[in-house]
Chains A and B, each alone.
Chain A
Amino acid sequence: MEEIDFLRLLEEERKAEEVVRRAENEAKRMIDSAKEMAKRIIENALKIDEEEIAKEEERRAKAEIVKLREELFRDVELLRRMVEENKQKILEHLEKMVLGLGD
């Protein structure tokens, strides 16, 4: 009767273990590499251009000042024009108020 070649089967088992071991190593390498990449992604995300932000904020603050100046001086100009156009009427009214002549 022919005998089973156990040595060959053992060799096949060894090879199979090697295939799985290699796959596990490859998986570990892939995960380590991903972790490394994740670290770099976070590091890169945290690299922000503070100077650029400062410039942008400064530009915004300056624009706000310009806007405020325009608003205030437009307001004064409007008041000046309004007073100028109605000066006689205003003075007459105020005179009456001071002299107790109505209003």
Chain B
Amino acid sequence: MSVEDVVKVLSEEIRKAAEEEARKVIENAKREVEIIIENAKRRAEELRRQKIAQVTKEIRQKLLKEYAQIKIELKKEYLLKKNEIFNNILRELREKLQKRSLERDEVYVKGLRNLIEEALLNVDSDDVVLYVLPKDQEIVREMLPNIIKEVEKKKRRKIRIKIADLKGNYIGGIIVQSVDGREYYNNTLDSRVRLIEEELFKIVISIVQKK
């Protein structure tokens, strides 16, 4: 091999080595570029998600304040309408009771008897005042001996009852108070309607479901 040929071979080797080195440099750079872009896309997606979440949260908080008042108003309106329905029931109930009380019909008289007995049984004292509307006193005096008999039988002791005027604008019913004033049992229709009023929704639902 001539010297010229040796130089040619060496030159070729140098060139090839350089080209190989350059190729590797570019290949590595391409890989790095891919990684940079891929990471950037991932990071971008994460940051975008975070930013959207943050902006959405801020907007929702602002809207929540604005719409809270509207929601309160709506619920207020809803409760008013619901109360109106129940108030109508109570109004009609009072009217019916008033009518029965004024007419002192059979149902009212029977009810009055039960209310007196219940009140007497719920007061421990044996010496009581029975407050009755003047219009009902005659009927009460008639039925009282039987009631007393019944109550004494249940209580197993004697009781003393004094009838007094029930003053006030009551529909009907009675109040029992111990003579010493320590015990008091309000069994006026008005008081019983008020008790029902508190549970009216539940009562109405249970009545309707009884079908």
A interface residue numbers (CB < 8 A to B): 2-5, 8-9, 12-13, 15-17, 19-20, 22-24, 26-28, 30-31, 33-35, 37-39, 41-42, 44-46, 48, 50, 53-54, 57-58, 61, 64-65, 68-69, 72-73, 75-76, 79-80, 82-83, 86-87, 89-91, 93-95, 97-101
B134 interface residue, CB < 8 Å from A? no
Which label, helix, strand, loop or mixed, suits the secondary structure of the B interface? helix
Partner of A86, one of B3, B47, B60, B208: B208
Interface flag for B118 (CB, 8 Å)? yes
**Interface pair B89/A83, CB less than 8 Å apart:** yes
List, in ascending order, chain B residues with CB within 8 A of A91's CB: 89, 92-93, 96
Please name all residues of chain B whose beta carbon is closer than 8 Å to the beta carbon of A64 when the two chains form the complex.
Answer: 67
Assembly CA distance A53 to B140 (angstroms): 75
Query: Which one of A16, A41, A65 lies within 8 Å of B41 (CB-CB)?
Result: A41
A-B interface contact total, Cβ < 8 Å: 197
* Interface residue? B184 (CB, 8 A): no
Q: Please report the total number of B residues contacting A with Cβ < 8 Å.
A: 74
Are A5 and B55 touching (Cβ within 8 A)?
no
| Contact (Cβ within 8 A) A16 B18 | yes
The reply to whether B74 and A72 form a contact with Cβ atoms under 8 Å apart is: yes
Smallest CB gap from A58: residue in B: B63
CA distance A87 to B189 in the complex (A): 20
A65, B67: Cβ atoms closer than 8 Å: yes
